[in-house]
Structure 1
Amino acid sequence: MGLPTKPFYSIFSLFLIIFTIFKLLPLAKSAPDYTKLVYKGCAKQDLSDPTGVYSQALSSLFGTLVAQSSKSKFYKTSTGNGQSTISGLFQCRGDLSNVDCYKCVSGLPILIDKLCGSKPVAARIQLFGCYMLYEVAGFPQISGMEMLYKTCSGKNSPGSGFEERRDTAFSTLENDMASSNGFYTTSYQSVYVLGQCEGDVGSADCADCVKIAVQKAQVECGSSVSGQIFLHKCFISYNNYQNGVPKTSSSSSDWSPSSSSDRVTWSVSSEDSYSRP
């Protein structure tokens, strides 16, 4: 008398079906980490604050900025009086929800203290999804078009037509940025691009800033298949998708800071500090 086989084959068949289903299911894509550090800038000069007036003003400024981040993606204000005035702002990426914006911004004051150590006269921290900056009255100003930071990664294969596709996407970005309310995304075939200007920049100046950022991307990143260019008043990012730009998610959230980066005037890597003339 032979051994029973139906239960064995039934279990085996069930296992095979389950295995096949799980094999066919696409892996869930993890949510982008909007709080990932991109760069920091910490002035080398510390606040002279024997009476604590600057510390009080800075604490008040941080509290106001964090509170506003649950309602707005950009806010600029100042606190204190006269020479003790401290100005600051935050901005979130245009495709973040108010909840994600608040989550991103709320950790920046602690991060500034952690990364910059003692209280500098100015600081700027750029995360994946937001940034915050502050400066005391009288701190030297720089051009809104000055490059702060860049990152370029991946090399394109010669003859693939990538640079032509990228430049076509860049051209659309440049042409439409003035009417975009400061945030715009577009794609051309396999290339996705994003541009954003600081919230108080006018439409014409925004378009000019993005054009300069595009030019710098073409020169600084060359044939790199992804890159980000941060100017003082705007930034752009681009990415090449060999299988086509994803249709079900914001492709701008797929880029992350690359190890192939460069230090420039305003800001530097997470290990250093900066100074300006």
Structure 2
Amino acid sequence: MSPTISTLSSTRLSKLSLLLLLFLLPFSLLVSSSTASFFSFIFVGCSQYKYSPGSPYENGIDSVLTSFVSSSASSSYNNFSFPGPTPSDTIYGLYQCRGDLAVADCSICVSRAVSQVGTLCAGSSGGTLQLEGCLVRYDNSTFLGALDKTVLLRRCGPLVGNANSDELTRGDAVLGYIGAGDGSYKPYRTGVSGSVQVVAQCVQDLSAGDCQDCLTEAIGRLKSDCGAAKWGDVYLAKCFVQYSDGDHTSGGHGTSDEEVEKTVVILIGVIVGVAVVILFLSLMATMCERARGGK
């Protein structure tokens, strides 16, 4: 009888494990679909200067990157400096998440960015990596608190084929609203007018005046370079501006793609739900049959 008992327990455990997996699958899909866009890659830049493996400088980089990950569990921005044996060995670093990113997602984003920059910039004395939802940067130069309007990335979507004066006016109005400074410190800014949406943010090591200066420069470049495009992004070293007409995003995915993604997730959830019911009924029938056979 013991082999029968063993086989029954193993089968029951296997089916219960599969049941739990199928039950959790649709929820994991929903979570990933709602946050995946924040983890998409934007750009990376690595210093041309290299450090020696095993040197104090390498230990400093490890310390900075580890601090990014641990700090992001509770804060969406922080900066660090780790002194080395010489001034050139001092490591400066910062990370920052988008203002609309929850702390939990910020931590995931920073962890992914740290993993990628550690690989892509391996051996380099400095690295900057931008994901959609977060930025990480480290170097042995004292960039903290310094205004830098160097263009790191500019990309524009297709021109609006049937743009009218109202659409262009709304776009100018939202960009004007985002770029308006009232003297207060607003590193993260959003604006919407009809189908037009704008997101802008400067790195929080900047003063209010330098933040305003950086965003003004980024908005000016966006308007001059992208004109009447469907969408456009301008990333400067210390700020960025993203513009879209509501039907297109900077990633080039329209709302139709988003609806398809949602539909696929819903369909998967329904299919998995049906599979769970069938598996549960099958499991109950098997247990009842074995229970009757044991009498």
**Same fold, judged at TM 0.5 (above):** yes
**How far apart, CA to CA, are the structure 1 residues paired with 2:163 and 2:66?**
52
Letter in structure 1 aligned against 2:49: Q
Report the alpha carbon displacement of residue 192 of structure 1 after superposing the two structures with TM: 0.7
Question: Counterpart of 2:56?
Answer: 53
**How far apart, CA to CA, are the structure 1 residues paired with 2:235 and 2:104?**
24
| Larger helix fraction of residues | 2
Report the alpha carbon displacement of residue 239 of structure 1 after superposing the two structures with TM: 0.8
**How far apart, CA to CA, are the structure 2 residues paired with 1:57 and 1:71?**
22
Question: Counterpart of 2:243?
Answer: 238
**How far apart, CA to CA, are the structure 2 residues paired with 1:258 and 1:37?**
13
Alignment of 1:1-277 (within 5 A): 30-33=33-36, 34-47=38-51, 49=52, 51-81=54-84, 82-116=87-121, 118-137=122-141, 144-161=148-165, 162-176=167-181, 178-179=183-184, 181-241=186-246, 255-257=249-251
Question: Counterpart of 1:12?
Answer: none
Q: Are the equivalent residues in 2 in contact too, given 1:186–1:194 (CA < 8 A)?
A: yes
**How far apart, CA to CA, are the structure 2 residues paired with 1:196 and 1:177?**
16
Cα gap change, 1:192 to 1:124, in 2 (>3 Å) = same
Letter in structure 1 aligned against 2:214: C
**How far apart, CA to CA, are the structure 2 residues paired with 1:50 and 1:149?**
31
Report the alpha carbon displacement of residue 147 of structure 1 after superposing the two structures with TM: 1.4
Higher mean Cα deviation, 224-233 or 178-187?
A: 178-187
Q: Are the equivalent residues in 1 in contact too, given 2:35–2:105 (CA < 8 A)?
A: no
Report the alpha carbon displacement of residue 163 of structure 1 after superposing the two structures with TM: 2.4
**How far apart, CA to CA, are the structure 2 residues paired with 1:227 and 1:175?**
19
Q: Are the equivalent residues in 2 in contact too, given 1:169–1:192 (CA < 8 A)?
A: yes
**How far apart, CA to CA, are the structure 2 residues paired with 1:145 and 1:112?**
22
**How far apart, CA to CA, are the structure 2 residues paired with 1:190 and 1:177?**
26
Report the alpha carbon displacement of residue 45 of structure 1 after superposing the two structures with TM: 2.2
Unaligned runs of 5+ in 2: 1-29, 254-295
Rg (Cα) greater in structure: 2
| Larger strand fraction of residues | 1
TM-score by length of 2: 0.68
Q: Are the equivalent residues in 2 in contact too, given 1:174–1:207 (CA < 8 A)?
A: yes
Report the alpha carbon displacement of residue 32 of structure 1 after superposing the two structures with TM: 3.9
**How far apart, CA to CA, are the structure 2 residues paired with 1:192 and 1:180?**
21
Aligned pairs, number: 218
* Backbone CA RMSD of aligned residues: 2.5
Quick one: higher RCO (CA 8 Å, sep 6+), 1 or 2? 1
Cα gap change, 1:68 to 1:108, in 2 (>3 Å) = same
TM-score by length of 1: 0.72
**How far apart, CA to CA, are the structure 2 residues paired with 1:138 and 1:172?**
32
Three-state SS of the structure 2 residue aligned to 1:155 is coil
Report the alpha carbon displacement of residue 59 of structure 1 after superposing the two structures with TM: 0.7
Which consecutive segments of 4 or more residues in structure 1 shift more than 3 A?
176-180, 254-259
Q: In the TM superposition, what whole-angstrom CA distance separates every residue of 1:40-81 from its partner, at most 9, and x where no partner exists?
A: 10122212x255211111111111111111111111111132
Report the alpha carbon displacement of residue 181 of structure 1 after superposing the two structures with TM: 2.6
**How far apart, CA to CA, are the structure 2 residues paired with 1:176 and 1:143?**
17
Unaligned runs of 5+ in 1: 1-27, 243-253, 260-277
Report the alpha carbon displacement of residue 241 of structure 1 after superposing the two structures with TM: 2.2
Letter in structure 1 aligned against 2:232: G
Three-state SS of the structure 2 residue aligned to 1:39 is strand
Report the alpha carbon displacement of residue 178 of structure 1 after superposing the two structures with TM: 4.7
